[in-house]
């Protein structure tokens, strides 16, 4: 049986700003319907990769394709296939949550934008807040609304550029749950993050971007094999911080 082509394919991607070389030959592939985490510190080039893949920036060299379309020669087809959620929620605080969704629905010319808005409000746990102004939303609620807006039109590929930046622990967990549900529904997600626990929790595969190149890539199990075997010690297991937090706030 023929193997499906990758949702995202990047080869030899290079980008410089004057004398600063940001990307020095980046290579990776993302399997359709998976979560791929691009992990790196601030300034590693993660956002530059996302901007190139979303046709907002032209590379100096290399090739990249999204959903089978070349970002250089078929930018319109790429844009039709993707949605991009940046580091800060791109929502209108004056409008209500429902009005934000309806506005995007009309801009994307979907049929029955109000029905689409109602469905997404329910899907993202925002139905009770749909008629409130977004200025009253918590950080986690704004980010969930932002991601919901990015799903209008059912794009097969979503770029999430550091989606939990600035969120409190509860907001981060809310966004994690949304991302996992999206992947379970078949959406391909490229997630950039500087948080190790975020990549560990969410990603099917992880690539570490350092000083402009991918220095290692694989599943979490494969990356663990790169380290020396751990010494086995039998100790009483302590709850993780996440387990403590969920127990205290009463969430499941």
Q: What is the pLDDT along the chain (252 residues), one digit of tens a residue?
A: 345 789 999 999 999 998 899 999 999 999 999 999 998 888 889 999 999 999 999 999 999 999 999 999 999 999 999 999 877 778 899 999 999 999 999 998 888 999 999 999 998 889 999 999 999 999 888 988 988 898 898 899 999 988 888 778 888 888 888 889 888 888 999 999 888 888 889 999 999 998 899 988 998 888 888 777 766 666 777 776 666 566 656 654
Residue 224 structural domain:
8-249
Within a domain: 193: yes
Within a domain: 141: yes
3-state helix, strand, coil in the chain (%, to 5): 35, 25, 40
User: Could you tell me how far CA 175 lies from the centroid of its own chain?
Assistant: 10
The CATH number given to whatever domain includes residue 208 is: 3.40.50.300
Within a domain: 1: no
Q: What is the pLDDT of residue 1?
A: 38
Q: What is the pLDDT of residue 241?
A: 62
Within a domain: 3: no
Number of domains forming the structure of the chain: 1
Within a domain: 2: no
């Amino acid at each position: 049986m023929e193997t499906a082509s990758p949702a995202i394919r990047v080869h030899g991607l290079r980008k410089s700003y004057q004398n600063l070389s940001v990307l020095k030959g980046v290579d990776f592939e993302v399997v359709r319907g998976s979560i791929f985490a691009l992990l790196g510190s601030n300034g590693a080039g993660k956002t530059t990769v996302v901007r190139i893949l979303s046709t907002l920036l032209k590379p100096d060299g290399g090739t990249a394709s999204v959903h089978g379309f070349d970002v250089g020669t078929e930018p319109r087809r790429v844009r039709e296939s993707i949605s991009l959620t940046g580091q800060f929620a791109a929502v209108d605080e004056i409008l209500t949550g429902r009005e934000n969704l309806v506005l995007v629905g009309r801009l994307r010319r979907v049929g029955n934008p109000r029905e689409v808005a109602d469905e997404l409000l329910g899907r993202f746990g925002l139905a009770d807040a749909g008629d409130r102004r977004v200025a009253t939303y918590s950080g986690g609620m704004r980010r969930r609304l932002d991601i919901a807006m990015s799903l209008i039109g059912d794009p097969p590929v979503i770029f999430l550029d550091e989606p939990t930046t600035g969120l409190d622990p509860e907001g981060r967990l809310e966004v994690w749950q949304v991302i996992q549900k999206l992947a379970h529904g078949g959406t391909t997600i490229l997630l950039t993050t500087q948080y190790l626990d975020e990549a560990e929790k969410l990603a099917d595969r992880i690539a570490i971007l350092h000083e402009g190149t991918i220095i290692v890539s694989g599943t979490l199990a494969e990356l663990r094999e790169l380290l020396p075997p751990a010494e086995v010690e039998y100790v009483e297991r302590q709850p993780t911080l996440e387990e403590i937090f969920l127990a205290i706030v009463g969430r499941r």
